[in-house]
Amino acid sequence: MADPLLSVQDLTVRFRTRAGTITAVDKVSFDLAEGETLAILGETGSGKSVTAQALMGLVPRPAGQIAGGRILYKGRDLLALPRSETRKLNGTDLAMVFQDPLSSLNPVFRVGTQIGELFRRRQGLSRAEARRKAIELMDRVGIPAADRRVDDYPHQFSGGMRQRVMIAMAIALKPRVLIADEPTTALDVTVQAQVMALLAELKAEHGMAMILISHDLGVVAGVADRVQLMYAGRVMETGDLREVYERTGHPYTQGLMASIPELNGPRERLTPIKGSPPDLTRLPSGCPFRPRCRYATDVCAAERPELLPLPDRPASHRAACHHSKEVVTDVVTG
Ligand code: SF4
């Protein structure tokens, strides 16, 4: 198999809090191939956004610290490179679309100036050329009347249009990997679908690889090739999207699946996962999902489950659960 474009190995991120040190990302590993889309999924506090921050060198210091692991991009360990080197890769190799476009855009500068600034700073273009490129990009991401709106300020755009501006900025320098952190969270359902369709189109057009961070299994279903479910900073299940969605081997994934409404199915009451996401300062022994899990037994309290291939499944489909065989059987028999 060709070397992956990005390989994350045993990434561990810790934060110092008043209540003690927490491990927000706990030995997380995954590969990303050229042109592939990986969705990292989980509830609030699962460690998915901190994983994205670590990839971009944005773990907030001094409270946060990368405590172990490697992030290999084209074979180079980003964590071992000097800051000046990783800064050069941001935008051209790895770029990010943030969760909240309003706080990510500068309210006192016109949108066109903020997009154009990337071309001026990174490619040395003149003000007029940068403005022309900004209009082109705004047009490409579906902002109507881009030649006029280029002079508007962020507050003059709707939430969906602001997210399009953020996407335009992220793809401006044609990155190889686009990381989108909950890109549709603040948007209504119709606009969510438009933004996801735009990301998929741009990915195909530029041949980018994409990491899509989301709490919503439904939102990523039409876009991702592979999924990785996280809980309490750990990977609970990973595999090809269809394989994981149709034949899940983990109670956590099973619970998240049961809470997605089915558009064409019978009207049924949705079943949310009982309990709340874990307090990382007081994780239970063994499996962190144990207090919320209907399959839990004594072994779940005694031993932390490893992420292992599931029986009779492709090797890429792995789950961290002592009782994944029973989960698989339940899913198959309904
Ligand atoms: Fe549930 Fe045990 Fe599996 Fe954890 S290891 S998910 S507690 S069955």
pLDDT level of residue 293 (50, 70, 90 thresholds): very high
Residue of minimum CA distance from atom 6 in ligand 1: 321
Q: Give yes or no for residue 289 CB within 6 A of ligand 1.
A: yes
CA of 167 to the centre of ligand 1 (A): 38
Position 322 scores a pLDDT of: 97
Q: Could you read off the pLDDT of 82-106 as tens digits, one per residue?
A: 988 998 998 999 999 987 777 789 9
Position 136 scores a pLDDT of: 93
- Locus of tokens 């059987």: 329
CA of 300 to the centre of ligand 1 (A): 6
317's CB contacts (< 8 A; 6+ apart) are: 237, 238, 239, 240, 243, 244, 247, 249, 309, 310
Cite the DSSP H helix spans in 56-188.
Answer: 83-89, 101-104, 111-123, 127-140, 146-149, 159-171
Q: Residue 1 pLDDT more than 70?
A: no
Position 16 scores a pLDDT of: 95
Q: How far is CA 284 from CA 17, 196, 302, 326, in A?
A: 19, 37, 10, 22
Mean pLDDT across 112-125: 95
**One-letter amino acid for residue 80 of the chain:** A
- Do the bridges between strand 318-319 and strand 20-32 make them parallel or antiparallel, or are there none, so unpaired? unpaired
CA of 287 to the centre of ligand 1 (A): 6
- Locus of tokens 């064409």: 264
Pocket-testing residue among 46, 237, 250, 295, ligand 1, by greatest number of atoms within 8 A of Cβ:
295
Q: Which atom of ligand 1 is nearest to the CA of 324?
A: 3
Write out the H or E segment, with its range, that includes residue 156: none
How far, rounded to the nearest angstrom, does the alpha carbon of residue 144 sit from its chain's CA centroid? Answer: 28
Q: Residue 264 pLDDT more than 70?
A: no
Position 332 scores a pLDDT of: 59
Pocket-testing residue among 322, 324, 325, 331, ligand 1, by greatest number of atoms within 8 A of Cβ:
322
Q: Residue 263 pLDDT more than 60?
A: no
Q: Residue 298 pLDDT more than 60?
A: yes
Q: Residue 273 pLDDT more than 90?
A: no
For residue 5, give both structure tokens. Answer: 């474009």
Q: Residue 281 pLDDT more than 60?
A: yes
For residue 126, give both structure tokens. Answer: 């003149």
CA of 309 to the centre of ligand 1 (A): 15
55's CB contacts (< 8 A; 6+ apart) are: 6, 8, 71, 78, 94, 179, 211
- Do the bridges between strand 177-181 and strand 209-214 make them parallel or antiparallel, or are there none, so unpaired? parallel
Q: What is the DSSP string of 120-149?
A: HHHH---HHHHHHHHHHHHHHTT-TTHHHH
Separation CA 280–CA 283 (nearest Å)? 6
**One-letter amino acid for residue 98 of the chain:** F
Position 147 scores a pLDDT of: 96
Q: Give yes or no for residue 138 CB within 6 A of ligand 1.
A: no
For residue 69, give both structure tokens. Answer: 């692991």
Q: Give yes or no for residue 327 CB within 6 A of ligand 1.
A: no
